[in-house]
Structure 1
Amino acid sequence: MQFSFTRSLLAVSLLTLAAGLAQAEETVRIGYQKYGTLITLKARGTLEQRLAKDGVKVQWTEFPGGPQLLEGLNVGSIDFGVTGETPPVFAQAAGADLVYVAHEPPAPTSEAILVPKDSAIQSLADLKGKKIALNKGSNVHYLLVQALAKAGIPYQDIQPVYLPPADARAAFERGAVDAWVIWDPYQAAAETQLQARTLTDATGLADNHQFYLATRSFAKAHPEQVGAIVDEVRSVGEWAKAHPDQVAAQVAPLLNLPLDTAERVVKRQGYGARFISPEVAAQQQKIADAFTALKLIPKPLVIRDVVWTPPASLQTAAAQP
């Protein structure tokens, strides 16, 4: 009798554990930053409504930058997230098992090299020997590489100061660095609050795509959820493009920015998420090759090896007008 009771308790415990695991699997964990369409999607709540029909919850986690977000993906704390162009290159080089899922159109004005308003720096050539703050491995890292190449300055001839955005702004404000390479909304905030001067944005230097990535295991196990997220990102992006004033009013308090600054951020974004095309993968390959040539990553990469191929049904749906 005692054995039977113990066995029943064990069975109940196993069922409870299984139910708990099943419940955990029904939460999709998304990483976002203070920029881009995901913050609008989070504010509108349409993804939660869509996935709730299938019993799936959404959990949001904010990250200060792309490298930190991809580390979250790599260690399994999130399933899906968004970054700029460069972080996935560094993550792939470090062996992270991630896949590119989708991208936004180029937004080259949403990142820039800033200098103080009264700086003597007037051209890219003046950056030689200067201390330049940036978040290592972030999207602006490639902008800096391209800007220096345009000016004929070897990367070794500057003094990179690798700092996350908040620390970089503090260093910029107190004059501890000569320039700051940064993206929106930090870029817009520095322009409006500090009267920082734009030495150059990414126009003609970098596309500044936003990329959506997932862990390979999540994309493989939950392709329909991945497709639903991309579809909702695309949908809310189209709405945002047509209603920038409403978007700015919605995200300004989330970004802790004045409305006019939020409007600047919103209007510089790219909208219209699509699955990864061969052309976009080829552009990303150029970025990887550039960092390999500079020996900032340890080995050559093949971008197409980490591009997710959605099921045919999702590709067909995405192609619908």
Structure 2
Amino acid sequence: MSDPRSGGRGPVPDPQAGGRRLRVGVLGCAGIAERRMLPSMAYQPLVEIAAVASRDGARAEAFAARFGGEPVTGYDRLLEREDVDAVYLPLPPELHVEWTIRALEAGKHVLCEKPFATGRAEAAEAVAAARERRLLLMESFMFLHHPQHAEVARLLADGVIGELRLFHGYFGIPRAGTEADAAPRYASTLPEVAAYPLRAARLFLGDGLRVCGAELRRTERDARPIAGSALLVSSRGVPAHLVFGVDHSYRSGYAMWGSEGHLRLDRAYSTPDEHAPVVRIERQDGVEEVPLPCERQFTRIAGEFARTILDGGDFERHGEDILRQAELVDAVDRAAAAARS
């Protein structure tokens, strides 16, 4: 099993900040930036919001008034700024690779929202650009930086449910409006939703997962994908059953079935800052609930991004992680296409 304990080093505030700060430009005023990342950066002493860009100047000004930094009209103008060391990129997924490469060519490190790319070929182009320029390219899987997953890893290592027999990951969100109203949103949202259980499977089962099958449910009106599932098997023969969709009641988490018990963690991906996680363990001798403290996972990933740059950390592992995730997404897409043909 891969070790999730390396993510999100250090408490917030960071006692070792020592006045060092990474000057970050925000490339796009998306909802995830407004709701979670930018408010969270305010708690991260290693980060300074230097500029906020939007194609709509008024929107950039509104964001800058709330979160700090200089408002900038147009993404290219932000990339020209010498007071920006790195960019946070929350644009729609179809724009991720294009603007990541532009940012890298401008000499900026990049923290990009997930899913980073539509497939490995696109991901490889961007990773190669980052390597060539010796810049950090990091995919914003913020949930990896919440300590709750390290606690789950510890419980598994301690044999609390015996030998692992099955990983089950799930993430679903409600439809926005009628199917006709929401249809344009499906194509970009579903890959983002699916990315979470896929990344969680890699976290606990390691890389080298083999996709045995996958399916996508589509709208009747225009055949847009709205839900799906996949069956994978780890190199040690442990299966992973993943379910995801944008036509569901909200559910976000994973469960693991072992030879001696069952473990479940809910609110595992989009964990609110004020949420106190609970790991539920069921065994033949009873049920145990392990309470865990609240944590700011967006603040922690911002700190990990800044610290890696400021300390000259391991850029390479983040590029490899992007490639492995993209490879797995490709494999699921191929399996779903084969099932439909």
If the TM-score is normalised by the length of the shorter chain, which range does it land in? 0.3 to 0.5
Provide the TM-score with structure 2 as the length reference.
Answer: 0.33
Q: Structure with the greater relative contact order (CA < 8 A, sep ≥ 6): 1 or 2?
A: 1
Structure with greater proportional helix content:
1
Structure with greater proportional strand content:
2
Specify the structure having the higher radius of gyration (Cα). 1
Provide the TM-score with structure 1 as the length reference.
Answer: 0.34
